[in-house]
Amino acid sequence: MIHTLSNWLSTSDNLLHTIQDKIKWADAMNEVDKKHRKEIEDKVEEAKKSVKADLDFRGHEELFPDSGGLMDYEEDRVRSKRRRQPMP
């Protein structure tokens, strides 16, 4: 009985150490992910600022010279639709 309990204790200790190692690894990967996410968010913010500065500098009309950047949908509504001729 003592031998069985000693083996169980040894196995439990090994399992505990393995779990602790996996927790440390998961924490390290979480930190790496947070840093990467922060870098991406910073790049996105930088790109947004760059685009906004470019828009402010050049103005909207220069980017979309034809219609101010909007599509003209009114033309599609006015156009007549072809219809099939009735079958004799």
Q: What is the per-residue pLDDT across 12-70, written as a single tens digit (0 to 9) for each? A: 999 999 999 999 999 999 999 999 999 999 999 999 988 888 777 666 555 555 555 45
What total number of domains does the chain contain?
A: 1
Structural domain contains residue 64: yes
Q: What is the per-residue pLDDT across 62-74, written as a single tens digit (0 to 9) for each? A: 555 555 545 555 5
Structural domain contains residue 83: no
Q: How far is CA 39 from CA 9, 15, 33, 34, 87, in A?
A: 45, 36, 10, 9, 66
Structural domain contains residue 11: no
Query: Are residues 3 and 11 in contact, defined by beta-carbon separation less than 8 angstroms?
Result: no
Structural domain contains residue 54: yes
Domain that holds residue 51: 29-77
Cα Dmax for the chain? 100
Structural domain contains residue 7: no
